[in-house]
Structure 1
Amino acid sequence: MRYGVYLPNQGDFADVGVLVELARSAEAAGWDGFFLWDELLPLHPHSDTVRAALGESDDVADPLVALTAVATATERIRFGSLVAAAPRLRPEAFARQLVTLDRLSGGRVVAGVGLGDPADQFTAFGLEPDLRIRAAMVDEFLDLVNRLWTGDRVGFDGAHYTCHGVTLRPTPLQRPRIPIWIGAGGSHRAPRRRAARWDGFAPASEQWPDVVISPETYAEIATDIRTSRTTDTPYDVVLIGNAAATEPTPATISQYEQAGVTWLLTQALTVADARERIRLGPPDPGGRYE
Protein backbone atom coordinates (compact mmCIF):
# COMPACT_ATOMS: atom_id res chain seq x y z
CA MET A 1 0.00 0.00 0.00
CA ARG A 2 1.19 3.50 -0.84
CA TYR A 3 -0.19 6.65 0.73
CA GLY A 4 -0.99 10.05 -0.69
CA VAL A 5 -2.83 13.24 0.16
CA TYR A 6 -5.77 14.46 -1.91
CA LEU A 7 -6.54 18.17 -1.87
CA PRO A 8 -8.91 20.61 -3.60
CA ASN A 9 -7.74 23.05 -6.24
CA GLN A 10 -10.18 25.70 -5.00
CA GLY A 11 -10.72 28.07 -2.09
CA ASP A 12 -7.56 28.59 -0.03
CA PHE A 13 -5.93 25.76 -2.00
CA ALA A 14 -6.08 27.91 -5.14
CA ASP A 15 -2.93 29.62 -3.83
CA VAL A 16 -0.14 27.71 -5.59
CA GLY A 17 2.33 28.79 -2.92
CA VAL A 18 0.22 26.94 -0.35
CA LEU A 19 0.15 23.81 -2.51
CA VAL A 20 3.93 23.91 -2.91
CA GLU A 21 4.37 24.24 0.85
CA LEU A 22 2.06 21.26 1.45
CA ALA A 23 3.78 19.12 -1.20
CA ARG A 24 7.20 19.78 0.30
CA SER A 25 5.88 18.92 3.75
CA ALA A 26 4.26 15.74 2.43
CA GLU A 27 7.50 14.59 0.86
CA ALA A 28 9.47 15.35 4.03
CA ALA A 29 6.92 13.46 6.17
CA GLY A 30 7.19 10.30 4.06
CA TRP A 31 4.04 10.43 1.96
CA ASP A 32 4.19 8.72 -1.44
CA GLY A 33 1.79 10.89 -3.44
CA PHE A 34 0.28 14.36 -3.76
CA PHE A 35 -2.93 14.65 -5.78
CA LEU A 36 -5.28 17.52 -6.60
CA TRP A 37 -8.87 17.86 -7.65
CA ASP A 38 -9.19 18.94 -11.28
CA GLU A 39 -12.22 21.24 -11.25
CA LEU A 40 -12.83 24.06 -13.68
CA LEU A 41 -15.51 25.71 -11.53
CA PRO A 42 -15.84 25.65 -7.72
CA LEU A 43 -17.73 22.66 -6.32
CA HIS A 44 -19.29 24.37 -3.28
CA PRO A 45 -22.86 24.48 -4.69
CA HIS A 46 -22.83 20.69 -5.05
CA SER A 47 -21.85 19.45 -1.60
CA ASP A 48 -22.71 20.65 1.89
CA THR A 49 -19.43 19.22 3.15
CA VAL A 50 -17.39 21.05 0.53
CA ARG A 51 -19.30 24.29 1.09
CA ALA A 52 -18.82 24.11 4.85
CA ALA A 53 -15.08 23.49 4.55
CA LEU A 54 -14.15 25.69 1.60
CA GLY A 55 -16.68 28.49 1.99
CA GLU A 56 -18.10 30.43 -0.90
CA SER A 57 -14.82 31.40 -2.56
CA ASP A 58 -14.86 31.14 -6.35
CA ASP A 59 -11.06 30.91 -6.53
CA VAL A 60 -9.83 27.88 -8.51
CA ALA A 61 -6.26 27.03 -9.57
CA ASP A 62 -5.30 25.22 -12.76
CA PRO A 63 -4.04 21.85 -11.50
CA LEU A 64 -1.40 21.25 -14.17
CA VAL A 65 0.16 24.67 -13.60
CA ALA A 66 0.06 24.08 -9.85
CA LEU A 67 1.58 20.62 -10.24
CA THR A 68 4.38 22.07 -12.35
CA ALA A 69 5.32 24.15 -9.32
CA VAL A 70 5.02 21.02 -7.16
CA ALA A 71 7.32 19.12 -9.53
CA THR A 72 10.08 21.71 -9.23
CA ALA A 73 9.74 21.89 -5.43
CA THR A 74 9.95 18.13 -4.77
CA GLU A 75 12.23 15.24 -5.69
CA ARG A 76 10.55 11.93 -4.85
CA ILE A 77 6.81 12.19 -4.37
CA ARG A 78 4.42 11.13 -7.17
CA PHE A 79 1.68 13.55 -8.15
CA GLY A 80 -1.22 14.14 -10.49
CA SER A 81 -4.75 15.45 -10.87
CA LEU A 82 -7.81 13.33 -10.08
CA VAL A 83 -9.36 13.60 -12.47
CA ALA A 84 -8.98 15.64 -15.63
CA ALA A 85 -12.27 15.87 -17.53
CA ALA A 86 -11.04 14.67 -20.92
CA PRO A 87 -14.11 15.78 -22.95
CA ARG A 88 -13.32 19.46 -22.24
CA LEU A 89 -9.63 19.10 -23.17
CA ARG A 90 -7.66 18.71 -26.38
CA PRO A 91 -5.79 15.37 -26.59
CA GLU A 92 -2.74 16.76 -28.40
CA ALA A 93 -2.31 19.55 -25.84
CA PHE A 94 -2.83 17.15 -22.94
CA ALA A 95 -0.29 14.71 -24.39
CA ARG A 96 2.31 17.45 -24.73
CA GLN A 97 1.63 18.94 -21.28
CA LEU A 98 1.92 15.59 -19.50
CA VAL A 99 5.16 14.67 -21.29
CA THR A 100 6.65 18.03 -20.37
CA LEU A 101 5.61 17.53 -16.74
CA ASP A 102 6.85 13.94 -16.74
CA ARG A 103 10.29 15.00 -17.93
CA LEU A 104 10.45 17.99 -15.63
CA SER A 105 9.72 15.75 -12.63
CA GLY A 106 11.98 12.86 -13.56
CA GLY A 107 9.07 10.56 -14.32
CA ARG A 108 6.75 11.12 -11.34
CA VAL A 109 3.47 12.29 -12.87
CA VAL A 110 0.22 10.29 -13.02
CA ALA A 111 -2.50 11.13 -15.55
CA GLY A 112 -5.92 10.91 -13.88
CA VAL A 113 -8.71 11.04 -16.48
CA GLY A 114 -12.50 10.80 -16.42
CA LEU A 115 -15.74 11.92 -18.04
CA GLY A 116 -16.13 15.01 -15.86
CA ASP A 117 -18.72 15.98 -13.29
CA PRO A 118 -20.85 17.97 -12.49
CA ALA A 119 -22.54 18.80 -15.78
CA ASP A 120 -22.42 22.58 -15.31
CA GLN A 121 -18.68 22.50 -15.97
CA PHE A 122 -19.67 21.54 -19.51
CA THR A 123 -22.96 23.33 -20.13
CA ALA A 124 -21.58 26.65 -18.89
CA PHE A 125 -19.23 26.69 -21.88
CA GLY A 126 -21.40 25.01 -24.49
CA LEU A 127 -19.59 21.67 -24.20
CA GLU A 128 -21.07 18.19 -24.54
CA PRO A 129 -23.54 17.41 -21.71
CA ASP A 130 -24.43 13.85 -22.72
CA LEU A 131 -22.60 11.26 -20.59
CA ARG A 132 -22.69 8.55 -23.26
CA ILE A 133 -21.08 10.84 -25.79
CA ARG A 134 -18.53 11.99 -23.23
CA ALA A 135 -17.68 8.34 -22.50
CA ALA A 136 -16.98 7.75 -26.19
CA MET A 137 -14.88 10.92 -26.24
CA VAL A 138 -12.79 9.66 -23.30
CA ASP A 139 -12.07 6.38 -25.07
CA GLU A 140 -10.95 8.14 -28.24
CA PHE A 141 -9.04 10.77 -26.27
CA LEU A 142 -6.98 8.16 -24.42
CA ASP A 143 -6.35 6.08 -27.54
CA LEU A 144 -4.97 9.13 -29.32
CA VAL A 145 -2.92 10.35 -26.36
CA ASN A 146 -1.40 6.90 -25.92
CA ARG A 147 -0.39 6.78 -29.58
CA LEU A 148 1.07 10.28 -29.50
CA TRP A 149 3.20 9.30 -26.49
CA THR A 150 4.96 6.62 -28.58
CA GLY A 151 6.80 9.25 -30.60
CA ASP A 152 5.72 7.46 -33.80
CA ARG A 153 3.92 9.08 -36.70
CA VAL A 154 0.22 8.99 -35.84
CA GLY A 155 -2.81 8.94 -38.07
CA PHE A 156 -6.16 8.94 -36.29
CA ASP A 157 -9.65 9.42 -37.68
CA GLY A 158 -12.25 9.10 -34.93
CA ALA A 159 -15.76 10.36 -34.42
CA HIS A 160 -14.52 13.11 -32.08
CA TYR A 161 -10.78 13.57 -32.69
CA THR A 162 -8.58 13.58 -35.77
CA CYS A 163 -4.82 13.51 -36.27
CA HIS A 164 -3.14 13.48 -39.68
CA GLY A 165 0.39 12.12 -39.74
CA VAL A 166 1.74 13.89 -36.64
CA THR A 167 4.77 13.02 -34.53
CA LEU A 168 5.05 14.46 -31.02
CA ARG A 169 8.45 14.31 -29.32
CA PRO A 170 10.07 13.92 -26.88
CA THR A 171 8.37 10.86 -25.45
CA PRO A 172 7.63 10.33 -21.74
CA LEU A 173 10.36 9.13 -19.41
CA GLN A 174 8.01 6.56 -17.88
CA ARG A 175 7.57 3.27 -19.68
CA PRO A 176 5.50 1.91 -21.23
CA ARG A 177 3.76 5.29 -20.75
CA ILE A 178 2.74 7.83 -18.16
CA PRO A 179 0.33 5.87 -15.91
CA ILE A 180 -3.30 6.56 -16.75
CA TRP A 181 -5.75 6.23 -13.85
CA ILE A 182 -9.45 6.27 -14.68
CA GLY A 183 -11.68 8.13 -12.23
CA ALA A 184 -15.39 7.25 -12.25
CA GLY A 185 -18.30 6.08 -10.15
CA GLY A 186 -17.44 2.85 -8.40
CA SER A 187 -20.81 1.12 -8.75
CA HIS A 188 -20.92 0.88 -12.56
CA ARG A 189 -19.40 -1.85 -14.75
CA ALA A 190 -18.60 0.29 -17.80
CA PRO A 191 -15.96 2.44 -16.04
CA ARG A 192 -14.34 -0.73 -14.72
CA ARG A 193 -14.03 -2.06 -18.26
CA ARG A 194 -12.54 1.24 -19.38
CA ALA A 195 -10.15 1.31 -16.45
CA ALA A 196 -8.95 -2.24 -17.15
CA ARG A 197 -7.43 -1.05 -20.42
CA TRP A 198 -5.13 1.38 -18.67
CA ASP A 199 -3.01 1.53 -15.52
CA GLY A 200 -5.25 2.29 -12.56
CA PHE A 201 -8.76 2.93 -11.27
CA ALA A 202 -9.86 5.54 -8.72
CA PRO A 203 -13.54 4.77 -8.08
CA ALA A 204 -15.67 7.42 -6.44
CA SER A 205 -18.34 6.77 -3.84
CA GLU A 206 -21.86 7.83 -4.70
CA GLN A 207 -21.76 9.83 -1.45
CA TRP A 208 -18.36 11.42 -2.08
CA PRO A 209 -16.72 13.07 -0.17
CA ASP A 210 -18.43 11.80 2.98
CA VAL A 211 -18.61 8.02 2.49
CA VAL A 212 -16.04 5.56 1.15
CA ILE A 213 -16.63 2.42 -0.87
CA SER A 214 -16.58 -0.79 1.20
CA PRO A 215 -13.73 -3.35 1.10
CA GLU A 216 -16.20 -5.89 -0.32
CA THR A 217 -16.96 -3.63 -3.28
CA TYR A 218 -13.26 -3.01 -3.82
CA ALA A 219 -12.68 -6.77 -3.94
CA GLU A 220 -15.41 -6.98 -6.60
CA ILE A 221 -13.85 -4.09 -8.52
CA ALA A 222 -10.39 -5.70 -8.39
CA THR A 223 -11.81 -8.99 -9.64
CA ASP A 224 -13.64 -7.33 -12.53
CA ILE A 225 -10.52 -5.46 -13.57
CA ARG A 226 -8.25 -8.47 -13.21
CA THR A 227 -10.50 -10.62 -15.41
CA SER A 228 -10.70 -7.84 -18.04
CA ARG A 229 -6.96 -7.13 -18.20
CA THR A 230 -5.03 -8.39 -21.22
CA THR A 231 -1.55 -7.70 -19.81
CA ASP A 232 0.26 -8.41 -16.55
CA THR A 233 1.78 -4.94 -16.20
CA PRO A 234 1.52 -3.26 -12.76
CA TYR A 235 -1.93 -1.92 -11.92
CA ASP A 236 -3.11 0.49 -9.24
CA VAL A 237 -6.45 0.52 -7.43
CA VAL A 238 -7.02 3.76 -5.52
CA LEU A 239 -9.08 4.38 -2.40
CA ILE A 240 -9.96 7.99 -1.55
CA GLY A 241 -10.70 8.41 2.15
CA ASN A 242 -13.66 10.44 3.33
CA ALA A 243 -13.54 14.19 3.90
CA ALA A 244 -13.30 13.84 7.68
CA ALA A 245 -10.39 11.38 7.29
CA THR A 246 -12.18 8.98 9.66
CA GLU A 247 -12.62 6.27 7.01
CA PRO A 248 -11.03 3.88 6.37
CA THR A 249 -10.21 3.14 10.00
CA PRO A 250 -6.94 1.59 11.18
CA ALA A 251 -8.80 -1.71 11.49
CA THR A 252 -10.01 -1.70 7.86
CA ILE A 253 -6.89 -0.51 6.04
CA SER A 254 -5.58 -4.08 5.89
CA GLN A 255 -8.97 -5.24 4.58
CA TYR A 256 -8.71 -2.77 1.71
CA GLU A 257 -5.18 -3.91 0.98
CA GLN A 258 -6.32 -7.53 0.88
CA ALA A 259 -9.15 -6.45 -1.45
CA GLY A 260 -6.59 -5.16 -3.94
CA VAL A 261 -6.20 -1.47 -3.05
CA THR A 262 -2.66 -0.23 -3.78
CA TRP A 263 -3.06 3.50 -2.98
CA LEU A 264 -4.87 5.16 -0.08
CA LEU A 265 -5.43 8.90 -0.45
CA THR A 266 -6.24 10.95 2.64
CA GLN A 267 -8.52 13.92 1.95
CA ALA A 268 -8.36 17.31 3.63
CA LEU A 269 -10.71 20.20 2.87
CA THR A 270 -9.02 22.98 4.84
CA VAL A 271 -5.42 24.09 4.72
CA ALA A 272 -5.07 23.79 8.50
CA ASP A 273 -6.33 20.21 8.41
CA ALA A 274 -4.05 19.38 5.48
CA ARG A 275 -1.02 20.71 7.34
CA GLU A 276 -1.82 18.63 10.42
CA ARG A 277 -2.58 15.41 8.57
CA ILE A 278 0.55 15.76 6.44
CA ARG A 279 2.63 16.41 9.55
CA LEU A 280 1.40 13.18 11.16
CA GLY A 281 2.74 11.20 8.22
CA PRO A 282 1.16 8.40 6.22
CA PRO A 283 -1.54 6.33 7.91
CA ASP A 284 -0.85 2.84 9.13
CA PRO A 285 -2.89 0.10 10.81
CA GLY A 286 -0.94 0.74 14.01
CA GLY A 287 -2.94 3.84 14.76
CA ARG A 288 -1.52 6.96 13.12
CA TYR A 289 -4.64 7.14 10.95
CA GLU A 290 -6.82 9.00 13.41
Structure 2
Amino acid sequence: MRVGFVGSFGSAPQVVDMAVTAEDAGWEGFFSWDGMSIMAVDTFDPWSILAAAAVRTERIALGAMVFALPRRKPWEVVRQALTVDHLSGGRLVLPVGVGVLDDGGFSAVPDQPQALRDRAQQLDDALDFLDRAWAGEPFDFSGRRLSTAQMQFLPRPVDREGVGRRVPVWPVGVWDAERPPTRSLDRTLRHDGIVLQLRGERGFDVPTPDDVASLVAWLTARRAELDVADGPYDVVVQGVLPTDRAAAADQLAALRAAGATWWVESRWNPETATPTSLLDAIQAGPPRP
Protein backbone atom coordinates (compact mmCIF):
# COMPACT_ATOMS: atom_id res chain seq x y z
CA MET A 1 0.00 0.00 0.00
CA ARG A 2 1.32 3.41 -0.96
CA VAL A 3 0.77 6.54 1.13
CA GLY A 4 0.48 10.16 0.05
CA PHE A 5 -0.20 13.57 1.52
CA VAL A 6 -2.20 16.61 0.34
CA GLY A 7 -0.59 20.03 0.72
CA SER A 8 -3.93 21.59 1.57
CA PHE A 9 -2.86 24.91 3.12
CA GLY A 10 0.15 27.19 2.85
CA SER A 11 1.81 29.65 0.52
CA ALA A 12 2.93 28.43 -2.90
CA PRO A 13 6.59 28.10 -1.79
CA GLN A 14 5.49 26.32 1.41
CA VAL A 15 3.42 23.78 -0.52
CA VAL A 16 6.29 23.03 -2.90
CA ASP A 17 8.61 22.63 0.09
CA MET A 18 6.08 20.16 1.52
CA ALA A 19 6.48 18.02 -1.60
CA VAL A 20 10.26 17.95 -1.16
CA THR A 21 9.91 17.14 2.53
CA ALA A 22 7.35 14.42 1.79
CA GLU A 23 9.78 12.67 -0.54
CA ASP A 24 12.61 12.92 2.00
CA ALA A 25 10.34 11.57 4.78
CA GLY A 26 9.27 8.47 2.83
CA TRP A 27 5.82 9.42 1.55
CA GLU A 28 5.11 7.96 -1.90
CA GLY A 29 2.73 10.59 -3.25
CA PHE A 30 2.24 14.33 -2.91
CA PHE A 31 -0.93 16.06 -4.03
CA SER A 32 -2.00 19.62 -4.58
CA TRP A 33 -5.71 20.48 -4.95
CA ASP A 34 -7.87 22.11 -7.59
CA GLY A 35 -10.07 24.92 -6.27
CA MET A 36 -10.98 28.04 -8.22
CA SER A 37 -12.91 30.20 -5.73
CA ILE A 38 -13.70 28.22 -2.63
CA MET A 39 -13.55 28.30 1.18
CA ALA A 40 -12.15 31.88 1.22
CA VAL A 41 -8.61 30.54 1.59
CA ASP A 42 -5.42 31.01 -0.39
CA THR A 43 -5.53 28.76 -3.45
CA PHE A 44 -2.91 28.22 -6.15
CA ASP A 45 -2.96 26.73 -9.61
CA PRO A 46 -2.26 23.01 -9.15
CA TRP A 47 -0.35 22.69 -12.43
CA SER A 48 2.13 25.38 -11.39
CA ILE A 49 2.60 23.76 -7.98
CA LEU A 50 3.11 20.34 -9.56
CA ALA A 51 5.56 21.65 -12.15
CA ALA A 52 7.65 23.24 -9.40
CA ALA A 53 7.45 20.07 -7.30
CA ALA A 54 8.41 17.95 -10.32
CA VAL A 55 11.76 19.67 -10.77
CA ARG A 56 12.59 19.56 -7.04
CA THR A 57 11.76 15.88 -6.45
CA GLU A 58 12.90 12.62 -8.03
CA ARG A 59 10.75 9.74 -6.80
CA ILE A 60 7.41 10.79 -5.39
CA ALA A 61 4.15 10.51 -7.40
CA LEU A 62 2.46 13.85 -8.07
CA GLY A 63 -1.17 14.81 -8.62
CA ALA A 64 -4.08 16.85 -7.24
CA MET A 65 -7.05 15.74 -5.14
CA VAL A 66 -8.91 16.13 -7.38
CA PHE A 67 -8.84 17.86 -10.77
CA ALA A 68 -12.31 19.23 -11.62
CA LEU A 69 -12.25 18.35 -15.31
CA PRO A 70 -15.72 19.63 -16.27
CA ARG A 71 -14.63 23.25 -15.76
CA ARG A 72 -11.31 22.78 -17.58
CA LYS A 73 -10.70 22.67 -21.33
CA PRO A 74 -9.42 19.14 -21.96
CA TRP A 75 -7.00 20.21 -24.72
CA GLU A 76 -5.33 22.52 -22.19
CA VAL A 77 -5.30 19.74 -19.57
CA VAL A 78 -3.52 17.47 -22.05
CA ARG A 79 -0.76 20.01 -22.61
CA GLN A 80 -0.42 20.81 -18.89
CA ALA A 81 -0.35 17.11 -18.00
CA LEU A 82 2.26 16.30 -20.64
CA THR A 83 4.47 19.11 -19.37
CA VAL A 84 4.37 17.96 -15.73
CA ASP A 85 4.66 14.32 -16.80
CA HIS A 86 7.90 14.99 -18.68
CA LEU A 87 9.28 17.33 -16.01
CA SER A 88 8.74 14.58 -13.45
CA GLY A 89 9.95 11.68 -15.58
CA GLY A 90 6.55 9.99 -15.63
CA ARG A 91 5.40 10.47 -12.03
CA LEU A 92 2.10 12.26 -12.70
CA VAL A 93 -1.27 10.73 -11.84
CA LEU A 94 -4.64 12.34 -12.59
CA PRO A 95 -7.32 11.98 -9.90
CA VAL A 96 -10.41 13.54 -11.55
CA GLY A 97 -14.02 14.29 -10.65
CA VAL A 98 -17.03 16.49 -11.37
CA GLY A 99 -15.97 19.22 -8.91
CA VAL A 100 -17.50 20.36 -5.63
CA LEU A 101 -20.82 22.19 -5.65
CA ASP A 102 -19.58 25.44 -4.10
CA ASP A 103 -16.59 25.96 -6.41
CA GLY A 104 -16.97 29.44 -7.89
CA GLY A 105 -15.47 28.15 -11.12
CA PHE A 106 -18.86 26.51 -11.63
CA SER A 107 -21.39 28.45 -9.57
CA ALA A 108 -20.25 31.95 -10.55
CA VAL A 109 -19.89 31.29 -14.29
CA PRO A 110 -23.20 31.08 -16.19
CA ASP A 111 -21.99 29.00 -19.13
CA GLN A 112 -20.36 26.31 -16.97
CA PRO A 113 -22.26 23.05 -16.40
CA GLN A 114 -24.10 23.29 -13.09
CA ALA A 115 -26.18 20.12 -12.71
CA LEU A 116 -24.25 17.02 -11.67
CA ARG A 117 -25.61 15.10 -14.66
CA ASP A 118 -24.26 17.74 -17.05
CA ARG A 119 -20.91 17.77 -15.25
CA ALA A 120 -20.72 13.99 -15.45
CA GLN A 121 -21.34 14.08 -19.21
CA GLN A 122 -18.65 16.72 -19.62
CA LEU A 123 -16.28 14.66 -17.47
CA ASP A 124 -16.83 11.62 -19.70
CA ASP A 125 -16.14 13.70 -22.80
CA ALA A 126 -12.95 15.08 -21.26
CA LEU A 127 -11.74 11.61 -20.31
CA ASP A 128 -12.44 10.29 -23.80
CA PHE A 129 -10.53 13.27 -25.20
CA LEU A 130 -7.52 12.52 -22.98
CA ASP A 131 -7.52 8.88 -24.05
CA ARG A 132 -7.37 9.93 -27.69
CA ALA A 133 -4.71 12.56 -27.04
CA TRP A 134 -2.28 10.20 -25.28
CA ALA A 135 -1.93 8.22 -28.54
CA GLY A 136 -0.08 11.11 -30.21
CA GLU A 137 -1.99 10.72 -33.48
CA PRO A 138 -4.11 13.37 -35.24
CA PHE A 139 -7.79 13.11 -34.29
CA ASP A 140 -10.98 15.08 -34.29
CA PHE A 141 -13.42 14.72 -31.45
CA SER A 142 -17.19 14.61 -31.12
CA GLY A 143 -18.70 13.91 -27.72
CA ARG A 144 -22.00 14.64 -26.00
CA ARG A 145 -20.96 18.12 -24.87
CA LEU A 146 -17.55 18.76 -26.47
CA SER A 147 -16.31 18.70 -30.05
CA THR A 148 -13.15 19.81 -31.85
CA ALA A 149 -11.64 19.72 -35.29
CA GLN A 150 -8.40 17.82 -35.81
CA MET A 151 -5.75 18.15 -33.12
CA GLN A 152 -2.52 16.31 -32.25
CA PHE A 153 -0.50 16.26 -29.04
CA LEU A 154 3.22 15.54 -28.95
CA PRO A 155 5.28 14.39 -27.19
CA ARG A 156 3.39 11.41 -25.87
CA PRO A 157 3.39 10.72 -22.12
CA VAL A 158 6.41 9.06 -20.55
CA ASP A 159 6.37 5.27 -20.97
CA ARG A 160 5.33 3.49 -17.76
CA GLU A 161 5.78 -0.18 -17.00
CA GLY A 162 2.45 -1.94 -17.15
CA VAL A 163 0.61 1.19 -18.27
CA GLY A 164 2.34 2.28 -21.46
CA ARG A 165 2.57 5.83 -22.80
CA ARG A 166 -0.38 7.35 -20.99
CA VAL A 167 -0.94 9.23 -17.75
CA PRO A 168 -2.83 7.09 -15.19
CA VAL A 169 -6.31 8.46 -14.49
CA TRP A 170 -8.21 7.89 -11.22
CA PRO A 171 -11.85 9.03 -11.49
CA VAL A 172 -13.82 9.58 -8.32
CA GLY A 173 -16.21 6.67 -7.90
CA VAL A 174 -19.20 6.73 -5.56
CA TRP A 175 -19.90 3.59 -3.55
CA ASP A 176 -23.04 2.32 -1.88
CA ALA A 177 -23.06 -1.41 -1.14
CA GLU A 178 -26.87 -1.55 -1.19
CA ARG A 179 -27.28 0.38 -4.45
CA PRO A 180 -23.98 0.48 -6.40
CA PRO A 181 -23.99 3.50 -8.77
CA THR A 182 -23.06 1.57 -11.89
CA ARG A 183 -22.36 4.52 -14.17
CA SER A 184 -19.90 6.12 -11.73
CA LEU A 185 -18.13 2.84 -11.05
CA ASP A 186 -17.98 1.75 -14.69
CA ARG A 187 -16.21 5.03 -15.46
CA THR A 188 -13.39 4.03 -13.10
CA LEU A 189 -13.09 0.57 -14.70
CA ARG A 190 -12.40 2.24 -18.06
CA HIS A 191 -9.39 3.92 -16.48
CA ASP A 192 -6.64 3.19 -13.97
CA GLY A 193 -8.22 3.39 -10.54
CA ILE A 194 -10.87 4.84 -8.28
CA VAL A 195 -10.82 7.64 -5.72
CA LEU A 196 -13.39 6.16 -3.38
CA GLN A 197 -16.22 8.35 -2.10
CA LEU A 198 -19.16 7.03 -0.11
CA ARG A 199 -22.68 7.89 -1.20
CA GLY A 200 -25.22 10.20 0.43
CA GLU A 201 -25.00 11.04 4.11
CA ARG A 202 -21.72 9.12 4.42
CA GLY A 203 -20.08 11.19 1.68
CA PHE A 204 -17.64 12.85 4.06
CA ASP A 205 -16.90 9.70 6.09
CA VAL A 206 -13.63 7.82 5.74
CA PRO A 207 -14.35 4.46 4.06
CA THR A 208 -13.99 1.49 6.38
CA PRO A 209 -12.23 -1.77 5.49
CA ASP A 210 -15.70 -3.30 5.02
CA ASP A 211 -16.56 -0.53 2.53
CA VAL A 212 -13.36 -1.18 0.61
CA ALA A 213 -13.79 -4.97 0.62
CA SER A 214 -17.36 -4.78 -0.69
CA LEU A 215 -16.32 -2.30 -3.38
CA VAL A 216 -13.39 -4.43 -4.52
CA ALA A 217 -15.61 -7.54 -4.69
CA TRP A 218 -18.19 -5.67 -6.77
CA LEU A 219 -15.55 -4.22 -9.11
CA THR A 220 -13.96 -7.64 -9.60
CA ALA A 221 -17.30 -9.16 -10.58
CA ARG A 222 -18.19 -6.19 -12.75
CA ARG A 223 -14.83 -6.34 -14.53
CA ALA A 224 -15.53 -9.94 -15.48
CA GLU A 225 -19.07 -9.08 -16.55
CA LEU A 226 -17.87 -6.29 -18.84
CA ASP A 227 -14.85 -8.33 -20.00
CA VAL A 228 -12.53 -5.44 -19.05
CA ALA A 229 -8.88 -6.31 -19.56
CA ASP A 230 -6.83 -6.84 -16.41
CA GLY A 231 -4.20 -4.22 -15.71
CA PRO A 232 -2.91 -1.95 -12.95
CA TYR A 233 -5.85 -0.54 -10.99
CA ASP A 234 -5.59 1.55 -7.84
CA VAL A 235 -8.15 1.81 -5.06
CA VAL A 236 -7.50 5.19 -3.43
CA VAL A 237 -8.85 6.06 0.02
CA GLN A 238 -8.41 9.47 1.60
CA GLY A 239 -9.04 10.96 5.01
CA VAL A 240 -7.26 11.79 8.27
CA LEU A 241 -5.47 9.06 10.17
CA PRO A 242 -5.50 8.82 13.99
CA THR A 243 -2.77 10.81 15.71
CA ASP A 244 -1.62 7.65 17.50
CA ARG A 245 0.82 6.10 15.03
CA ALA A 246 0.12 2.51 16.09
CA ALA A 247 -3.61 3.05 15.57
CA ALA A 248 -2.89 4.73 12.24
CA ALA A 249 -0.72 1.79 11.14
CA ASP A 250 -3.46 -0.66 12.16
CA GLN A 251 -6.02 1.30 10.11
CA LEU A 252 -3.78 1.24 7.05
CA ALA A 253 -3.13 -2.48 7.48
CA ALA A 254 -6.86 -3.20 7.59
CA LEU A 255 -7.52 -1.08 4.50
CA ARG A 256 -4.67 -2.77 2.65
CA ALA A 257 -6.03 -6.20 3.52
CA ALA A 258 -9.43 -5.12 2.19
CA GLY A 259 -7.91 -4.14 -1.17
CA ALA A 260 -6.95 -0.48 -0.93
CA THR A 261 -3.70 0.35 -2.76
CA TRP A 262 -3.33 4.01 -1.74
CA TRP A 263 -4.02 6.08 1.35
CA VAL A 264 -3.92 9.86 0.83
CA GLU A 265 -3.79 11.95 4.01
CA SER A 266 -6.21 14.81 3.28
CA ARG A 267 -6.63 17.49 5.96
CA TRP A 268 -9.17 20.20 5.09
CA ASN A 269 -9.93 21.91 8.41
CA PRO A 270 -8.12 25.28 8.21
CA GLU A 271 -8.26 25.65 11.99
CA THR A 272 -6.11 22.57 12.56
CA ALA A 273 -4.38 22.00 9.20
CA THR A 274 -2.02 24.95 9.30
CA PRO A 275 1.15 25.05 7.19
CA THR A 276 3.17 24.31 10.34
CA SER A 277 1.05 21.35 11.43
CA LEU A 278 1.01 19.93 7.89
CA LEU A 279 4.79 20.16 7.64
CA ASP A 280 5.20 18.53 11.06
CA ALA A 281 2.98 15.64 10.01
CA ILE A 282 4.87 15.23 6.74
CA GLN A 283 8.26 15.29 8.47
CA ALA A 284 7.10 12.53 10.84
CA GLY A 285 6.77 10.23 7.83
CA PRO A 286 3.95 7.84 7.02
CA PRO A 287 2.77 5.24 9.52
CA ARG A 288 3.63 1.80 8.21
CA PRO A 289 1.18 -1.10 8.54
TM-score by length of structure 2 reads 0.86
1:22-37 maps to which residues of 2 (within 5 A)?
Answer: 22-37=18-33
Query: 180, 185, 196: which one pairs with 2:189?
Result: 196
What is residue 49 of structure 1 aligned with on the other side?
none
What is residue 270 of structure 2 aligned with on the other side?
none
Cα distance in 1 between the residues matched to 2:256 and 2:241: 20
Per-residue CA shift, 1:65-92, capped at 9, x if unaligned? Answer: 1111111111110010111111101111
> Aligned residues, how many?
267
CA 155–123 in structure 1, closer or farther in 2 if over 3 Å, else same: same
Identity %: 34
Cα distance in 1 between the residues matched to 2:120 and 2:241: 27
What is residue 156 of structure 1 aligned with on the other side?
141
Q: Secondary structure at the match of 1:249?
A: helix
1:1-290 maps to which residues of 2 (within 5 A)?
Answer: 1-8=1-8, 12-13=9-10, 15-43=11-39, 57-121=40-104, 122-126=106-110, 127-174=112-159, 175-187=164-176, 189=181, 190-205=183-198, 211-229=205-223, 230-242=228-240, 249-268=248-267, 269-285=273-289
Contact kept, 8 Å, 2:4 with 2:262, in 1: the verdict is yes
Unmatched 5+ residue regions in structure 1? Answer: 44-56, 286-290
CA 118–169 in structure 1, closer or farther in 2 if over 3 Å, else same: same
Contact kept, 8 Å, 1:195 with 1:225, in 2: the verdict is no
Contact kept, 8 Å, 1:110 with 1:179, in 2: the verdict is yes
CA 265–149 in structure 1, closer or farther in 2 if over 3 Å, else same: same
CA 162–280 in structure 1, closer or farther in 2 if over 3 Å, else same: same
Question: What is the one-letter code of the residue matched to 1:72?
Answer: V
CA 69–240 in structure 1, closer or farther in 2 if over 3 Å, else same: same
Cα distance in 2 between the residues matched to 1:20 and 1:167: 31
Cα distance in 2 between the residues matched to 1:227 and 1:74: 39
Q: Secondary structure at the match of 1:39?
A: coil
Question: What is the one-letter code of the residue matched to 2:258?
Answer: A
CA 40–184 in structure 1, closer or farther in 2 if over 3 Å, else same: farther
Per-residue CA shift, 1:233-255, capped at 9, x if unaligned? Answer: 11111111227667973323222
Contact kept, 8 Å, 2:69 with 2:97, in 1: the verdict is yes
Aligned-pair Cα RMSD in Å: 2.0
